[in-house]
Amino acid sequence: MSVIVPYKAIDVVGDSDNPKQAIIDFIGKLDGIHIPGDQVLIGTYVRPRKTKGGIIRVDENMQEDIWQGKAGLILKLGTTAFKDTQEFSFPVADKFKPGEWCVYKVGDAWAININSYPCRLVRDVNIRLRIDDPNIVL
């Protein structure tokens, strides 16, 4: 069984000065995608090809972000995501919105490609952190 790795996504986002906008532009409109229930669609963050120290990351290393990356951009919320239920109540500060960076456990997420971009579907309660800069998470 072979796996198709979205190299174009790696190149576009990994070489961008603005990864948030690069992810949004690469994926495009999500109007035809309906996320069920408490699920959240997250675009996987791909770290820059060139590190701050000037080291060029090889493709194999960049692919690890797709399979093991823990940071991503919230793209779209399910119909009941971050809404209070009898079982769980979200404090206002813990309710995420599209366009925010987050951290999640890879094992809690379902991998999917949207327009050839690596994404994850995660339950709202499994998103662990809100972060300003995805580069702080390895």
CATH of residue 89's domain is: 2.30.33.40
What Rg value do the Cα atoms of the chain yield, rounded? 15
Structure confidence at residue 96 (pLDDT):
94
| Identity of the residue numbered 103 | V
Write down the pTM of the prediction.
0.87
Domain that holds residue 14: 7-132
Q: For 73, what's the count of Cα atoms within 13 Å in the CB-facing half-sphere?
A: 21
In order along its 138 residues, the chain shows pLDDT tens digits of: 444 555 677 777 777 889 999 999 999 999 999 999 999 999 999 888 777 788 887 777 777 778 888 999 999 999 999 998 887 788 888 889 999 999 999 889 999 999 989 999 999 999 999 999 998 887
User: Considering the domain boundaries, does residue 137 fall inside one?
Assistant: no
- Centre a 10 Å sphere on the Cβ of residue 119 and count the other Cβ atoms it contains: 25
Residue 133, judged by CB atoms within 10 A of its CB (0-12, 13-18, 19+), counts as exposed
User: Considering the domain boundaries, does residue 30 fall inside one?
Assistant: yes
CB 104 within 8 A of CB 25: no
User: Considering the domain boundaries, does residue 81 fall inside one?
Assistant: yes
User: Considering the domain boundaries, does residue 123 fall inside one?
Assistant: yes
User: Considering the domain boundaries, does residue 2 fall inside one?
Assistant: no
